[in-house]
Structures are given as structure tokens and as C-alpha cells.
Amino acid sequence: MSQLMEFRDKTTADKIIKKLASMDLNLTLMHVCGTHQDTIVKYGLDDLLKKHGVRIRQGPGCPVCVTTTSEIEMALELAKKGKTIVTFGDMLRVPGLKESLNDARSQGAKVRIVYSITDAVNLAKKTDDDIVFVAIGFETTAPSTAITLLKDPPKNFFVLSFHRYLPPALNALLGMGELKLQGIIEPGHVSTIIGMNAYEGVSSKYGIPQVIAGFEPLDVLMAVYMIAKQIHVSKSIVENEYKRVVKKEGNLKALKAISEVFEPKDAKWRGFPKIPLSKMAIKKEFESFDAEKQWADELKSIVNNEFTEPKGCECHRVLRGLVEPKECTLFGETCNPNHPIGPCMVSIEGSCNIEYRYRRIIR
């Protein structure tokens, strides 16, 4: 059996489910990862687990979704000023206040899709235009941005950093206390970079079990079982189900690159008030590449502005795990992947998009 199929083995899944069924559970868990949500919905794990007293909600783990309207407006403003905006495909379709980057492009703004930051740097090498790379994502994608800036890219290459640190969001979510959670499944890819240690403060402060998990169905089921076992013996520690990839200390080289280039800054996330020290701001040494600093005057009126969410969109509550996509009255009707109202329907990592792709409208 291939390693992949091993992690989809039905007999093993049945054994884990049987164990969970014998534990008489009544748990609400959260995960913070679009790839986990994809696995959970694709394989029907949420419905299966619900039958055994385990509810799983997706939290603020989709980079496109947590990017704020104000940040989209910053990219739009620079596009209007004639800069070439380059970013990943999903970002183009996120609605700003009145339009998306895609709309701006159709009206003549220079907006380009790239598949990596290297593509963006190569574009800068071929032109005299100012190239602004809109950098999103957590600790998983931030190292490639950091390494690019450490390699001294062309002078006409800039970064609009919307990178974020994940652990401060976990602290904020638990601190808000809106949803009583009994455990968190942590994302394998972010954990590959930050390791296990980064989560320890959260478990000790909030007395909550956390398990780092891979992305196959058995990874998720095993993580749920490990959390249930911790609760059974009144433990609240960080465990690693994804030992085949994640090391306790993380990836020290990637962490070093992040800390050389970025420093933590307070920032709003969609659906959240300002989260202390949660944004990766570009350090002063690299400010010649920092689009936010270079065009500070142009962006002054937009930065941290309180823009309202699209009318009727529940994305902000979906991101806090308070509602499921189908509870939004716009889901699947007014809002669908061809006509997204909020970012949770735009991104393939967003709860609404995932729900729509696998289950469409089931009210």
C-alpha cells in the first residue's frame, strides 16, 4: 500500500471512530487551515464526527480570507497610482470596498497573477515599472518573501506585506471566548516552520489541548482522538501527530530568515479586532522594498481604516468559528464562486468555497 493510501485506510479509520464512539464525547474543536477543511469536508469527516459528539469548526486559517478590506484597498490604491500589482490568483477576486483587483485590471490597471515571488522578481528585472508584490500567508509562505528580500532584489521590486503570525490569532480567539473550545488541531504546514514550541504558551495559558496534524483523513481523525485522550486524562499539552514532517523546533533556517526581515506589529484581521503582534511588518533595514513605507502618503487614509464588511456577508463570523457557511443567507445563491460576495467564497481555502465545491446548497 502506498504511504498516501495508508493514511486513507478505511479499516484504520473505523478503528479510530470506534474508539471515539466509546468515549461518550461532547466536544467542540477548531482547526485553522483551509487544507484541513478541504479534507474534512471532502471525506465527510465533520458529519461522521458529529455523530460521535465532536463538532469541528474552521477558524482564521485562510490567508486570503483574513486579509482585510483595508489591505485590499491599499493594493487597489497603488494600482490606481500606476504601480504594477502582482499577487496570487485568489487575491485578485477578493472584493474591496467597491471593486476587486480583477475589476481594476479590467479597467486598465496593471495587475498580474504570479505563481511565486520569484516570478514577481523576474518581472521586475524585465521592466522599469514599479512592481509591487502583495505578500499574503502565514509562517509557511513568509520565508520565501524573507529570503527574496535578503537576496537584494531589483530596486523597482516592492512588497506589500500582509503576512501574519498564526499563534497570536489563536491567543486572540481564545481570549475573546465567544466559542467554548475543547481543543485545537494545528496546521501541519505552518507547524513545519514554527515547530511545536510556538504553541506551548497557548496550551498553558488557556488549558487547551493542541495537536499538530497532517492533511490526510487519518491524520485528522487521529488528531481528534489524541485531543479526546488528553481531555480524558485532564491534560492540555501540545502533541504532534505529524511527526513524519514536523520537528519540535521547526525549521530554524526559515525562522531565522523571517526574524531577519520581519518584526511583529499589531494588526486587524478580517473578523477580529486588532491582534497584538500578529502582522509581519518589514524591518527598517529593508524599508526600501516596503511598499507601505515607500508610498506612505498615498496609503495614509487607508491604512487601518475601519471598512465595513460586504452587506449580508457572514465571513467575519465564519472566521471566528461562530457560524457555518450554510448559515449565511447569501450562501450558494447571491454568493457563489463565480460571484463571490466575501473572501471566504473566493479562496479555495475558504470555508464557503469548500462547502460550495463539495456540497453546494443543502439547507
Contacts 24+ apart (CB under 8 A), 290-296: 290/158, 290/159, 290/161, 291/78, 291/83, 291/132, 291/158, 291/159, 291/160, 292/74, 292/160, 292/161, 294/158, 295/78, 295/81, 295/83
Select the span of 33-41, 260-268, 285-293, 313-321 touching ligand SF4 (CB under 6 A): 313-321
C-beta of 20: minimal distance to ligand SF4 in Å? Answer: 30
Residue 195 identity: G
Pick the closer one to ligand SF4 by CB: 71 or 314.
Answer: 314
Pick the closer one to ligand SF4 by CB: 68 or 240.
Answer: 68
β-strands 111-113, 27-31 pairing: unpaired
Pick the closer one to ligand SF4 by CB: 214 or 325.
Answer: 325
C-beta of 58: minimal distance to ligand SF4 in Å? Answer: 12
- Contact flag: residue 32 with ligand SF4 (CB under 6 A): no
All three cell numbers of 154: 531589483
- Contact flag: residue 331 with ligand SF4 (CB under 6 A): yes
Q: No. of H helices and E strands in the chain?
A: 20, 11
Which of 193, 313, 319, 354 binds ligand SF4 (CB under 6 A)? It is: 313
All three cell numbers of 261: 526581515
Beta bridge partners of 281: 263
C-beta of 50: minimal distance to ligand SF4 in Å? Answer: 21
Pick the closer one to ligand SF4 by CB: 227 or 318.
Answer: 318
Which of 328, 347, 349, 354 binds ligand SF4 (CB under 6 A)? It is: 328
C-beta of 356: minimal distance to ligand SF4 in Å? Answer: 8
C-beta of 342: minimal distance to ligand SF4 in Å? Answer: 3
β-strands 157-163, 238-240 pairing: unpaired
Distances (CA, A) of 160 to 2, 208, 263, 342: 42, 35, 14, 21
Which of 174, 318, 319, 354 binds ligand SF4 (CB under 6 A)? It is: 318
d(CA 340, CA 332) in angstroms, rounded, equals 9
Dihedral (Cα; 304, 307, 308, 311), 10-degree rounding? -140
Q: How open is the CA angle 80-69-324, to the nearest 5 degrees?
A: 145
Site for ligand SF4 in 110-129 (CB under 6 A): none
**What 3-state DSSP class applies to 352?**
helix
Select the span of 104-112, 130-138, 255-263, 309-317 touching ligand SF4 (CB under 6 A): 309-317
- Contact flag: residue 325 with ligand SF4 (CB under 6 A): yes
C-beta of 321: minimal distance to ligand SF4 in Å? Answer: 13
Burial (Cβ within 10 Å: 0-12, 13-18, ≥19) of residue 237: middle
Which of 40, 194, 222, 345 binds ligand SF4 (CB under 6 A)? It is: 345
Which of 219, 314, 324, 349 binds ligand SF4 (CB under 6 A)? It is: 314
Question: What does the binding site for ligand SF4 look like in residue numbers (CB under 6 A)?
Answer: 313-315, 318, 325, 328, 330-331, 335, 341-342, 344-345, 352
